[in-house]
Chains A and B, each alone.
Chain A
Amino acid sequence: DVKVTQSSRYLVKRTGEKVFLECVQDMDHENMFWYRQDPGLGLRLIYFSYDVKMKEKGDIPEGYSVSREKKERFSLILESASTNQTSMYLCASSIRYEQYFGPGTRLTVT
């Protein structure tokens, strides 16, 4: 079975802090994604990566950056967290035409 793990289930950070969200997949998938999930808005793509050191902006990249130094790991970085970044963050990996999701990180910025 494909396994996608995220470093934290719950995270509380202060405004202005630098925040790292880590995602690891164990199936050698080339493509990895970071989504933000908010009620009534569904899943919105922040960034995705189709290879090591490669990244593409999604629909809402502002305020975020990503890093993919190894194939299995895709990190989402909030350079200076703000309260409007309080949300559920979902990581996913895919091969061919299916996505596999991690359990999500619920981030609260106070």
Chain B
Amino acid sequence: AQTVTQSQPEMSVQEAETVTLSCTYDTSESDYYLFWYKQPPSRQMILVIRQEAYKQQNATENRFSVNFQKAAKSFSLKISDSQLGDAAMYFCAYRSPNTGNQFYFGTGTSLTVIP
């Protein structure tokens, strides 16, 4: 099974600053999808951003962007101009097209935004 590693259990950032959350994964596949999900306290998990492995261009969604390094198997999330509403647990996830739609999740990074 593929493994996804988030080595930062907790991170903090000052409001309006930039923070980067790290994620690495292990796979022998060449085609796959990577995701960042956000889980606010006591609220539903939602998709933040998605990256297809065949695309060289890094995905961006407003203040959220990724740094996808396929050779290094690294997929970090950058949050610019951090806001109080960004405080949440963030999960990195991997999906293979070859394993029956199964998703593999990291252990999560808890982000605190300091006013």
Using CB atoms and an 8 Å cutoff, list the residues of chain A in contact with chain B. Answer: 31, 33, 35, 40-45, 48, 50, 56, 58-59, 90, 92, 94, 97-104
Name the segment of B55-63, B74-82, B104-112 touching the other chain. B104-112
Using CB atoms and an 8 Å cutoff, list the residues of chain B in contact with chain A. Answer: 1, 6, 9, 33, 35, 37, 43-47, 50, 91, 93, 95, 97, 100-103, 105-108
With a CB–CB cut-off of 8 A, which chain B residues contact A92? 45
With a CB–CB cut-off of 8 A, which chain A residues contact B37? 101
Given A50-B101, A56-B100, A98-B50, A42:B44 Cβ within 8 A: no
Cα A42 to Cα B45 with chains together (Å): 12
**Which of B33, B95, B103, B107 has its CB near the most chain A CB atoms (within 10 A)?**
B103
Do the beta carbons of A41 and B102 come within 8 Å of each other?
A: no
Given A98-B50, A101-B45, A48:B107 Cβ within 8 A: no
Do the beta carbons of B105 and A43 come within 8 Å of each other?
A: yes
Closest 10 CB pairs of A and B: A42-B107, A101-B45, A43-B105, A42-B105, A97-B33, A31-B101, A103-B44, A42-B108, A42-B106, A101-B44
Listed A/B pairs (30) with beta-carbon separation below 8 Å? A31-B101, A33-B103, A40-B9, A40-B107, A42-B105, A42-B106, A42-B107, A42-B108, A43-B105, A45-B102, A48-B100, A48-B102, A50-B100, A50-B101, A56-B100, A90-B45, A94-B101, A94-B103, A97-B33, A98-B35, A99-B35, A99-B47, A99-B93, A100-B47, A101-B37, A101-B44, A102-B44, A103-B44, A104-B44, A104-B45
